[in-house]
Amino acid sequence: MPIRLLAAAAVAALALAFPAAAQTDPPATVLAKWGLLGTWAVNCANPPSRQNGYSTYEAEGSADAVLRRDFGPESERDRSKIENAQVTADGMLSVTINFASINQVRTNVFMKVGADGIRAVENRGADGSYTVQDGKFVHNGAPTLTQTRCR
């Protein structure tokens, strides 16, 4: 029994001494590997609207990536730089986006749903405020909806 405890302590000490390597791939590479590049919506059969926004994740060159949001009218479209993207230990995708049009930096975490769906499990601002937490909207407790790839 003491040998097992010593072995466990040694493994724990090594884990603390050598932390996991930081994500070094650029956002475009991470998004491509995880499968986020493309256009997503709750209902691809309906046009973009306030109730059915389209989110398009695009690579710009080999490293940079952007998010283009379309809520229907020309005045409700924007383009935001993706500053960071990492796959979490549990296989989710964490994406940090600089929404210059609304002067906010937000981090969104997505999980895969089936073969071609995604769902937001977290959306938080740089100030720590959440609009989505644990897969539910903070303001009303409703679960986030699954988005599918439109194109």
The string of pLDDT tens digits covering residues 49-104 is 999 999 999 999 999 999 999 999 888 999 999 999 999 999 999 999 999 999 99
Q: Rounded to whole angstroms, how far apart are CA atoms 54 and 39? A: 7
Q: Do 84 and 64 contact (CB within 8 A), yes or no?
A: no
Q: For residue 86, give the nearest of 21, 23, 133 by alpha carbon.
A: 23
Does the pTM exceed 0.75? yes
Query: SS3 helix, strand, coil % of the chain, rounded to 5?
Result: 20, 45, 35
